[in-house]
Amino acid sequence: MQNLAEIIGWALACSLPVVLAGAIIIRFARSWSLAVSMVVLVLIPTLATFTGVLGASGFMITATFEQTAVVLVIVSVVTIPAAVMLARYQARRTVWEQEIRDSERAAEHSRRQLVAFVSHDLRTPLAGIRAVSEAIADGVVTDDEVRTQAKHIEQESIRLSEMVDDLFEMSKINAGSVQPVREQVALDEVVADVISTHRIAARNAGVRLTAELPPQPVRVLGSDRALVRVLSNLVANAIAHTPDGGAVTLTLGADADGAWAHVDDTGVGIDEADLPRVFDVAYRGSNGRVPRTDSSLPSGSGLGLTIAAGLVQAHGGTLSARNLDTGARFEVRLPLALDTVD
């Protein structure tokens, strides 16, 4: 028993300092990578075992010590590469999990914003429809005014329908289920559709709406319906922020970086502090909309820019905004179709 107690004592006396030193090193080496930390964690018990065996053998190089040393070297050769690979896997997994958590938090924040926005903005047209309907039902509205009030109900109903469509589109974007059809689309035809759609609204707003197209067609891969919606949302936003007598210009072109479309207006521009948030859900900004006397002009759902950004991203492109000397510019960039022909 005396001999065994002595062996245990020497083993502890030689191995414990190694373990304590390793613990101190790991405690203060926070800047190390996960791979280095894993290698140290493997080496600490290996070295502690080595020194413990050396102390238990009376610091004599015996046959037993030599065999143990060989085994420890082999274990180190096997476990250190495994520790490095495990550390790299764990690091990647940690990053993935963090990205998933960040994505979930962002989605939840976006959902809360959307719910708050919807509950607020749907209330206005619904209240208008209810008030007018009750007035008609109670006989408060004269026969001569019925047609006018019915027109008001129609306009508010259209506005509600557009908001519901926007909410449906936003739900698909937030769910990552927007997968545009990969067909060859001529952007000049898309521009023509957008100009035709908004010509009357621009005229009613006193805004001159024009398009500038290149001599040759600009083609991209995607969904013509989705791209019409992108440019339509940008043009509608530009008209809403351009005063009477101003102009909105939709310009199309291509360069070495791909196809591009600019929507320029001569409105009040965007506050520099608001530029980073201009594509957020329900963004309004500190610049109020230009007052309109014509109630038939669409007021928008507040989701147009967010939807446009999501659709452009689904097409592998980018959407950005910046101020001009007068007004603002929204720029859409999309990859050109590889088989583009003149």
The answer to which of 67-76, 106-115, 138-147, 303-312 has the lowest mean pLDDT is 106-115
CA 15 to chain centroid, in Å, comes to: 53
How many whole angstroms separate alpha carbon 46 and alpha carbon 75?
Answer: 8
CATH superfamily of 178-334: Histidine kinase-like ATPase, C-terminal domain (3.30.565.10)
pLDDT at 1 over 50: no
Q: Is the separation of the CB atoms in 49 and 11 below 8 Å? A: no
Q: How confident is the model at residue 54 (pLDDT cuts 50, 70, 90)?
A: confident
pLDDT of residue 208: 95
Q: Tell me which range, 174-178, 274-278, 292-296, is most confidently predicted by mean pLDDT.
A: 274-278
For residue 287, pLDDT over 60 is answered with no
CA distance 212 to 250: 6
* Closest listed residue to residue 166, CA positions, set 333, 316, 308: 308
Distance CA 69, CA 66 (A): 5
Per-domain residue ranges for the chain? 2-98, 178-334
**Average pLDDT in the 245-258 region?**
93
Outline where DSSP puts E strands in the chain.
183-186, 208-212, 219-222, 247-255, 258-265, 318-323, 328-334
Question: Using alpha carbons only, what angle is made at residue 22 by residues 19 and 26, rounded to the nearest 5 degrees?
Answer: 140
Q: What is the pLDDT of residue 111?
A: 67
pLDDT score of 2 more than 50: no
**Candidate ranges 18-27, 100-109, 272-281; pick with highest mean pLDDT:** 272-281
Higher pLDDT, 172 or 101: 101
Q: Which residue has the higher pLDDT, 282 or 26?
A: 26
Kindly state the average pLDDT of the residues 24-33. 71
Q: Among 70-74, 203-207, 289-293, 324-328, which stretch is predicted with the lowest mean pLDDT?
A: 289-293
Q: How many CB atoms lie within 10 A of CB 309?
A: 23
Predicted structure pTM score: 0.58
Nearest-angstrom CA–CA distance, 255 and 221? 16
Answer yes or no: is pLDDT of 327 > 60.
yes
Token pair in block for residue 155: 């306009």
What confidence category does residue 188 fall into, taking pLDDT thresholds of 50, 70 and 90?
very high
pLDDT for position 341: 43
